[in-house]
């Protein structure tokens, strides 16, 4: 398998962490989708990373699709319950959707600030996305409560997704004091940071 992505993308990091937890070998091809000579559209017509190229030459796109597939490849470190356990599986995927939604809003804020000229930037747009980040973090914190992990007593894909979101916010938006506002999220982030898969995939 070959993973096409970047070192800064939190969505790519999610896939890299899952690959590491599953102890799967793969080639990692760096791609800057913002460069005019980017070849990403040859693999993903949407022009986004991550993109996982399979041995038969086909491609999987979107981190949520990719990590769900990867989890089926080996029983090592199962991150999702069997498909027959629909409610538990949906709960974990819901955690992932919320974490990714916070990322989506954060990425839109960053693009507004970095890709548009100052005179064309919309403060209303930035505030709308910031509201999603703030409300999303509050929801994560409320759902986590005093739990050790996001979804029950075991480490799952929910923890991977939330950990990537918190790590990216710390990387790109250090001014957002989610640690002070949500100590339980800070505790979770610190716990996850001790895992080798998180240490080896820090955004840069």
Question: Model confidence over 132-187: pLDDT tens digits?
Answer: 999 999 999 999 999 999 998 999 999 999 999 999 999 999 999 999 999 999 99
Greatest Cα pair distance, the chain, in angstroms, is: 53
Question: In three state form, how does the secondary structure of the chain look?
Answer: CEEEECCCCHHHHHHHHHHHHCCCCCEEEECCCCCCCCCHHHHCCCCCCCEEECCCCCEEECHHHHHHHHCCCCCCCCCCCCCCCHHHHHHHHHHHHHHHHHHHHHHHHHHHHHHCCHHHCCHHHHHHHHHHHHHHHHHHHHHHCCCCCCCCCCCCHHHHHHHHHHHHHHHHCCCCCHHHHCHHHHHHHHHHHCCHHHHCCCCC
65-99: pLDDT as tens digits: 999 999 999 999 999 998 778 899 999 999 999 99
What is the reported pLDDT for 84?
A: 72
Give the number of other Cβ atoms within 10 Å of residue 35's Cβ. 9
Q: Output the pTM of the full model.
A: 0.96
Kindly state the average pLDDT of the residues 43-62.
96
């Amino acid at each position: 398998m070959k993973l096409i992505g970047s070192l800064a993308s939190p969505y790519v990091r999610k896939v890299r962490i899952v690959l590491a937890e599953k102890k799967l070998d793969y080639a990692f091809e760096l791609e800057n989708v913002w460069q005019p000579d980017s070849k990403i559209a040859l693999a993903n017509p949407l022009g986004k990373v991550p993109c996982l190229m399979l041995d038969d030459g086909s491609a999987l796109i979107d981190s949520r699709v990719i990590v769900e597939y990867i989890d089926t490849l080996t029983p090592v470190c199962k991150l999702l319950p069997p498909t027959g356990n629909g409610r538990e599986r949906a709960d974990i995927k819901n955690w992932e959707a919320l974490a990714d939604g916070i990322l989506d809003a954060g990425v839109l804020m960053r693009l507004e600030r970095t890709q548009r000229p100052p005179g064309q930037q919309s403060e209303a747009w930035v505030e709308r996305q910031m509201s999603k980040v703030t409300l999303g973090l509050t929801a994560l914190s409320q759902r986590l409560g005093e739990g050790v992990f996001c979804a029950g007593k075991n480490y799952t894909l929910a923890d991977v997704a939330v950990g990537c979101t918190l790590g990216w916010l710390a990387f790109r938006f250090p001014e957002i004091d989610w640690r002070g506002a949500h100590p339980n999220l800070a505790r979770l982030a610190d716990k996850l940071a001790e895992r080798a898969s998180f240490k080896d995939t820090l955004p840069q």
